[in-house]
Structure 1
Amino acid sequence: MESLILVILVIMPGVWSGDWRVTFNDQCALKGTSIVIKCKYDYPFGHFVTSVTWSKAWLVSGRHRLFPVSNLQSSPDHFVYAGNKRGDCSLKINDVHDDDSGAYYFSFVTTLNRWRSQTFLQLSVKELTAVVQPSTVTEGDDVKLTCVSGCPTPTTIVWYRDGQAVPNPVFQARREDTGRYYCAVLGQETARSAFVALNVQYAPKKVSLSISPSGDIFKGSSMTLTCSSDANPPVTQSGYSLYKDGHFIGSGQHHNISDVQPSHSGLYHCQAWNNISWRGSDLINSTQVPLDVQYRPVNVSVSMDPPPVVQGSSVNLTCSSAANPAADNYTWYRIDSPSSSSMLQVGSGQVLSLPSVNASHTGLYFCQARNRLGESNSTEVLVAMMKEEHGGMPLPILAGLGVSLFLTLVLVLIFFWKRRKQRIHAEKETMLGFKHNGRGLSSSATEDESNSVYANIHRLPSSPPPVTDITPHSQRSSHREHDAPVSSEDEVTYTAVTQKPRDPSLPRHINNSRSKAGETDDAVIYAIVAKSS
């Protein structure tokens, strides 16, 4: 029995020391983690611990007061005593938060006394701080993630982006890397930093153009063309441009057309810009979107071949129109007279053939073009029969004769014009001869008459010689003013004249000396016009 008591005394605290003592160190805890505060206590021999208590000091009315941790407003398992009643006074705090920071005291009660630590344990609560460098980057730039801990205790850090693990804290930014980042303690991910954002800017991608309403677009309806893209920073209103068939339409994300017309059909595409380039290009285009405006037949018309309708001939009437989709049904009608309101259906198809026209075919014709959107009528065309008279010539022959007569008339006019021109030319030459003759007579005294050729031109009388005027001289002049020849026509006889050229064998200075002396080698031609009385 005595030996058993000795063994118990040996293993009991205080046996060796016998001092009242509590031993602990200040602690630093990361917010969100769970920590164990290490603590040791001792007491004198002969005492048995009956209860232990951890208390926290709170400042109340300017004084610090102690409140047992078990009485603090917290979850039941927030503070857990991890020691025993034999010298271990460790305390575990789960999910540390900011309110847990402060001064803590440990006290215990024995069978003979009670004791409280003479000093307090200071608990500091810190948190992780995430740093992204730089916080705003352009796609392709380098990014570095750094986690700063306020506690000196080394911990293993892991990174997350929007809840997804980040394998490497240093990377080359992509557009997918945009998001909120935080760091945490490995194994205690609840202990994490506040969020920090990484903004990765990039040029517009996935540029698209949509047309509302979707499906078929009809003439006269309204529609909206909308541009969209994935870009950071987002593309503004002025950053969007709309093009039709390669031609600029306007700026803006939305384009409304209240009255759609066939002219709006074409290929459309958007262009987006946000001042960020991608592979050297600042302007990013969408794919082309076709717009096909559908409408019922319009501008329906009828053509006739051949235009003049001759009895017994064949005539083709062709109906044409503009429509989308194209007209697939044509119906022909005839109105027998303008005053008649009754219509007679005379055929179908785009071409109406009248193989042998007769009087029963005369009337006003029009066609009706139809597609699945509606129908429209053409204007009326008159088919009037032109009869060919017996013994008469066909119209093409008459037309040919008219052309021939016109050409003949033109040729006759040209012939008379040339004859008149020749006669005027001959008269001019005659007048020039008269002048030359006068000059020759004045200088012929010094020339050799053997080199001259004379031509005598006589005017034959065309009327009897006039009666001898016996009127006195005083009255003769007055009679001359009233007497005039009735009519006469000169008869002129033309003679061919040759001109002797200069002697080319003589030197030029001899010819020139002869010219200075009044001589010439050129034969002088004289023409004497004699008017017979």
Structure 2
Amino acid sequence: MIAVVLILIMKPAGPVSAAWSVTFKNPDPCALKGASVEFRCSYSYPETENVLKTSWYKGCMKDGHWKRVDLSVLPSYQNRSEYLGDQQHSCGLALHNLQDNDTGHYYFGLETDKYIRQSQDSVFLSVTELNVRVSPQRVRMGDNVKLECGMSCEPAPSTVWLKDTQPITNTEFQAQADDAGTYVCVVEGLESVNSHSVTLDVQYSPLNVSVEVTPPGLLAVGSSVNLTCSSAANPVADNYTWYRATASTSITQVGSGPVLSFPSMEESHNGVYVCQAGNHLGENNSTEVLLTVGRTDIYKSILIGIGVTVLLLLLLPLVIIWIWKHYRKSADTEEHSHDYENVSASHDYENVTTS
């Protein structure tokens, strides 16, 4: 039986085989890696034959020879190839989740009750990726940035840039601090297939410089206090300078480093403090922080005064309620007393009249 089949395959084309043909409607498709592609195909065969089986093959080199291998026996195509045709005249094929090695020649063939035939022409599939670039990749805040996305397929589809899953409307802009991050390009309407990511590094001098006082609140003589300076910067701030201004002196430098420590506060530490944070791109100042140091006995007096005020505010409503209740009780007693006298007088008048 095998010998017979081979003879039929090698049999020279005659009048019967002349009716056999395959037409590829998109012979050179181009598709993105990770996407899907469809081969649109139709075929014809002699009316005297009945189609038993249809197959798609991929051309590849094996042992130095060009061979056509049935997709159904290739493990890499399992669950990724889908026959869209029938056993009449349609022979479409869909390939899903395309990979780089899917690039190549694809052939269609069929088996009838008389012959096994394979197409001489093929579909050549090109699998490509989105080519993306951000230029320049490292900029200073305010510099111009351009995002570029393209692919080798023609016509190229419409693409969209995403940053943190959010679409970017402008692909050319002046970089700001919050523009730093990772970007990807996707085909519009096919967001599940995206390019490799590109990173934009935006460098800037310290921004939003602030000072935190620890512990917060009233400062007493002898207490320990830390002033901590922080900022947003790229690269991070590596130079901190502390300044103090008082009513009697000009601004003077009082320390360096991100933390200014006072192990034991004194009244001489009173003043306005400012932190200056910097990197190689520049420097910026924090908002002013006022430190006022007082003696413990003064603070105790202040606290006692505050406590007495709070106590009075709490007691005042109670006193008002007590006075109101006492007034109501007195008023009720007086009212009842007048009613009793009127009744007594009425009885006396009646008694006198009866006599």
* TM-score, length-scaled by structure 2: 0.69
Query: CA–CA distance in 2 between the matches of 1:26 and 1:183?
Result: 25
- How far residue 74 of structure 1 moved from its aligned partner, in angstroms, is 5.8
- How far residue 295 of structure 1 moved from its aligned partner, in angstroms, is 4.4
Question: Which secondary structure state, in structure 2, belongs to the residue aligned with residue 260 of structure 1?
Answer: coil
Amino acid at match of 1:264: H
- How far residue 325 of structure 1 moved from its aligned partner, in angstroms, is 5.5
1:273 and 2:278 aligned: yes
2:132 is aligned to 130
The answer as to whether partners of 1:70 and 1:79 remain within 8 angstroms in 2 is: no
1:72 is aligned to 75
Q: Which runs of 5+ in 1 are unaligned?
A: 1-14, 277-281, 298-322, 330-370, 373-533
The answer as to whether partners of 1:129 and 1:193 remain within 8 angstroms in 2 is: yes
Question: Which secondary structure state, in structure 1, belongs to the residue aligned with residue 296 of structure 2?
Answer: strand
- How far residue 221 of structure 1 moved from its aligned partner, in angstroms, is 4.1
- How far residue 207 of structure 1 moved from its aligned partner, in angstroms, is 0.8
Query: CA–CA distance in 2 between the matches of 1:167 and 1:216?
Result: 51
Query: CA–CA distance in 1 between the matches of 2:254 and 2:63?
Result: 75
1:260 is aligned to 265
Question: Which secondary structure state, in structure 1, belongs to the residue aligned with residue 196 of structure 2?
Answer: coil
- How far residue 45 of structure 1 moved from its aligned partner, in angstroms, is 3.2
Q: Per-residue displacement from partner, 1:220-263 (whole Å, max 9, x unpaired)?
A: 44333221112223212x2x212222321222222333333443
Query: CA–CA distance in 2 between the matches of 1:220 and 1:75?
Result: 78
- Number of residue equivalences: 285
Question: Which secondary structure state, in structure 1, belongs to the residue aligned with residue 155 of structure 2?
Answer: coil
Question: Which secondary structure state, in structure 2, belongs to the residue aligned with residue 176 of structure 1?
Answer: helix
- Residue pairs, 1:325-364, within 5 angstroms: none
* Percent identity of equivalent pairs: 37
Query: CA–CA distance in 2 between the matches of 1:266 and 1:74?
Result: 76
Check 1:284–1:84 CA distance in 2 against 1; reply closer, same or farther (3 A cut): same
Check 1:161–1:16 CA distance in 2 against 1; reply closer, same or farther (3 A cut): farther
1:225 is aligned to 227
Check 1:324–1:187 CA distance in 2 against 1; reply closer, same or farther (3 A cut): same
Query: CA–CA distance in 2 between the matches of 1:220 and 1:123?
Result: 81
- How far residue 79 of structure 1 moved from its aligned partner, in angstroms, is 1.9
- How far residue 197 of structure 1 moved from its aligned partner, in angstroms, is 1.6
- How far residue 272 of structure 1 moved from its aligned partner, in angstroms, is 2.0
The answer as to whether partners of 2:215 and 2:225 remain within 8 angstroms in 1 is: yes
- How far residue 206 of structure 1 moved from its aligned partner, in angstroms, is 0.9
Structure with bigger RCO (C-alpha 8 Å, 6+ apart): 2
Query: CA–CA distance in 2 between the matches of 1:140 and 1:16?
Result: 74
Query: CA–CA distance in 2 between the matches of 1:144 and 1:192?
Result: 18
Amino acid at match of 2:283: L
- Residue pairs, 1:130-209, within 5 angstroms: 130-209=132-211
1:359 is aligned to none
The answer as to whether partners of 2:57 and 2:68 remain within 8 angstroms in 1 is: no
Check 1:203–1:23 CA distance in 2 against 1; reply closer, same or farther (3 A cut): same
1:82 is aligned to 84
- How far residue 142 of structure 1 moved from its aligned partner, in angstroms, is 2.4
1:31 and 2:36 aligned: no
The answer as to whether partners of 2:55 and 2:70 remain within 8 angstroms in 1 is: no
- How far residue 36 of structure 1 moved from its aligned partner, in angstroms, is 1.0
1:243 and 2:248 aligned: no
Amino acid at match of 1:286: S
C-alpha RMSD of matched pairs (Å): 3.2
The answer as to whether partners of 2:72 and 2:78 remain within 8 angstroms in 1 is: no
Q: Per-residue displacement from partner, 1:357-396 (whole Å, max 9, x unpaired)?
A: xxxxxxxxxxxxxx99xxxxxxxxxxxxxxxxxxxxxxxx
The answer as to whether partners of 2:150 and 2:156 remain within 8 angstroms in 1 is: no
- How far residue 216 of structure 1 moved from its aligned partner, in angstroms, is 4.1
Check 1:70–1:212 CA distance in 2 against 1; reply closer, same or farther (3 A cut): farther
Query: CA–CA distance in 1 between the matches of 2:52 and 2:95?
Result: 23
Question: Which secondary structure state, in structure 1, belongs to the residue aligned with residue 86 of structure 2?
Answer: coil
Query: CA–CA distance in 2 between the matches of 1:267 and 1:176?
Result: 32
Amino acid at match of 1:229: S
- How far residue 210 of structure 1 moved from its aligned partner, in angstroms, is 0.9
Check 1:186–1:143 CA distance in 2 against 1; reply closer, same or farther (3 A cut): same
Query: CA–CA distance in 1 between the matches of 2:64 and 2:165?
Result: 44
- How far residue 275 of structure 1 moved from its aligned partner, in angstroms, is 4.0
1:286 is aligned to 286
Amino acid at match of 1:247: T
The answer as to whether partners of 1:207 and 1:286 remain within 8 angstroms in 2 is: yes
